[in-house]
Structure 1
């Protein structure tokens, strides 16, 4: 015979289910706190081809400052202003870092892209983040274009200036925009490369967007230990190595020929007497495990990410 179920058991079951649901929600929500810079960019283009780009970067973190570790722009020339490698990236709410670039392009304006890397130290762990952004045309360029027409046409009469421009414009500018326009939608979204370094683990993480492309990376330590990270669109993949002094991991993508070697950097506050005291508590270990998706894009594949973008662009060109 089955004894009647006690109402207390039902209440306990409901409470347990609620706790499991809350824990699951917390785990799913955790990746939203990944450490990363948040760059934006806009530009104004004059008729003589001079383009002025304004970059702005804020932090994803609301409680700690970071430091800019990487700036790579497709716009020739230096970035002027407060945005520079080594500059402090203030916590969110303390204002952005800004910088400008100016360059004169002879033909169609190419993709104006900035890749920013930053570093944080939180609770004895190193967190590195990297994000890229493509500048968009500004809606507040104003009278910047008015003084530019003089170099484009030497004729004082506006009529002759427009007639040659109108004729080539349909034939010249139309092919220029289709050549650039189809390539943009055709390009897949870029993956996010992340690295987490704790006192006992070095974890490589790749977040592949739903519109990304599949690829794999072979990772080999200086001792010959090899692991493979397979990245599929819409999924997050990771590979971990046991950390020790002198650990170096060489990353080789299947989409490019070059490779990148990343050394392990031990976080501060790791136990000096063998590390046992720092690694034994449950919370740090749990944090490291669930934080694998939190860490922030790394120095990890700084060069690797660039190589991936280059390979992606080459693929688009070959397809076109």
Structure 2
């Protein structure tokens, strides 16, 4: 009897461990799949700014493909960071690019949004991240040495003896009132950028929104071409998702409650469906459709912040 109970306990333990391993295997990759960009810049005295961008992958076993690169710095990005570039697994080297621009006024926030696409078996994943470049630590001092020019006037020692009249002392007592200018108020901190993901497999199309803790609350309405509509309310510090059953010809229009623009995103089945999962065979490369769908998703996400900031819309949580 004891042997029987021990045998049953061992079987249950092994079954539980296998079940947990299966959950980790299936659920783990779905929470990842995103690019991880970073950036730093160096500024010269004439306002010329050189930004260096770098992007690595969240995945360690498969390569991805860059689908979107959007920068707030004017001008093209030189280097390997471009749409269509291979995003190698983490640890195999980043994608890098540089931008140079001369600003006439103060340097604004320099931001980069990168989107990428991964194919993992019978499921595809799209993710994007936005990063703000920080001042570099190893910037070369580009200011020429202007120190010799002020060193020349010490030879004219007799001249400062003439203007030694202390007459301007009464005038200094007159302007104490304008010496209290109002301190300029610091600009309000901009909200954190949400993260938008699109997961597609042979049976479903899932939209994922991750709102950072310093983000703003907003709502998104997802409507299919057949009129099926679902609403997602995104709160700061929380993540939410909306899922649709996949079928041939499925398109989903995304509309946010804070802007007027909307985006329509077509469903693209992964390459390994091979007629399964609702009868969705895929023949030939689908890279163009995948990149188009991912770009539309990322453009829809950018509407919240890019378009809204241009129109000076104020968000209230």
TM-score band by shorter chain is 0.7 to 0.9
Q: Cα distance 1:277–1:138, how it changes in 2: closer, same or farther (>3 A)? A: closer
Q: Which moved more, 1:230-239 or 1:48-57?
A: 230-239
Q: Cα distance 1:244–1:300, how it changes in 2: closer, same or farther (>3 A)? A: same
Distance 1:234 1:28 in 2: 24
* 2:45/2:142 contact within 8 Å kept: no
User: Which one of 271, 274, 279 corresponds to residue 271 of structure 1?
Assistant: 274
* 1:203/1:241 contact within 8 Å kept: yes
Distance 2:63 2:24 in 1: 24
Unaligned runs of 5+ residues in structure 2 are 154-179, 282-292
Aligned residue in 2 for 1:310: 306
Offset of 1:254 from its aligned partner?
A: 0.4
Offset of 1:241 from its aligned partner?
A: 1.0
Distance 2:275 2:98 in 1: 45
Aligned residue in 2 for 1:50: 48
User: Which one of 193, 197, 201 corresponds to residue 194 of structure 1?
Assistant: 197
More relative contact order, 1 or 2 (CA 8 Å, 6+ apart): 1
Q: Cα distance 1:100–1:223, how it changes in 2: closer, same or farther (>3 A)? A: same
Distance 2:258 2:71 in 1: 22
User: Which one of 93, 96, 119 corresponds to residue 95 of structure 1?
Assistant: 93
Q: 1:139-158 residue pairs with structure 2 within 5 A?
A: 139-146=137-144
Distance 2:279 2:309 in 1: 47
Unaligned runs of 5+ residues in structure 1 are 1-6, 150-155, 161-170, 279-296
Distance 1:206 1:42 in 2: 27
**Partner of 1:140: helix, strand, or coil?**
coil
Aligned residue in 2 for 1:134: 132
Offset of 1:146 from its aligned partner?
A: 3.5
Q: Cα distance 1:237–1:27, how it changes in 2: closer, same or farther (>3 A)? A: farther
* 2:212/2:236 contact within 8 Å kept: yes
**Partner of 1:48: helix, strand, or coil?**
coil
Distance 1:268 1:214 in 2: 36
* 2:65/2:85 contact within 8 Å kept: yes
Q: Cα distance 1:121–1:158, how it changes in 2: closer, same or farther (>3 A)? A: farther
Offset of 1:20 from its aligned partner?
A: 11
Larger radius of gyration: 2
Instruction: Give the CA RMSD over aligned residues.
Output: 3.8
Q: How many residues align?
A: 274
Q: 1:211-222 residue pairs with structure 2 within 5 A?
A: 211-222=214-225
